Amino acid sequence: MDILCIEACGTVQNLMDKRSRFAPSVTSLLAVCPVDWLLAPVQPGHAVPRWRMIRMLKREPKEPLILPVRDARVLFALKPKDYLGFAQTQTAQPHEFFCPMDR
């Protein structure tokens, strides 16, 4: 499984905390999808549960879905002033992307 994470960072300290969570490691990464999450609707007001959108599940799950993560990318959204200062002084890791956000 490949994943894309989007993290909105309100402060530079918050960015640094979130970056450390996604730092590469020598251990395997597993994505755990709890049953309650799988059974919840795809979007508010829709009746289709998430598990139906995952084409590999043929029937309603009774236990969490656990999948190995092959590749992860993270988009960090920063306030414009933080983005400018950070982008001028830091180098992104290969899995990281940065962008400014309005709020």
Q: For 49, which DSSP code?
A: B
> Is the model's pTM score more than 0.85?
no
Encoding tokens for residue 24?
């590469």
Going by C-alpha positions, the residue among 33, 41, 10, 38 that lies closest to residue 103 is: 10
| Beta-strand pair 71-78/96-100 | parallel
Q: Residues 11, 17: contact at Cβ < 8 Å?
A: no
Please tell me the distance from the alpha carbon of residue 87 to that of residue 20, in angstroms, as a whole number.
17
pLDDT cut 70: percent of the chain above it: 98
Tens-digit pLDDT profile for residues 8-44:
999 989 999 998 888 777 677 889 999 999 999 999 8
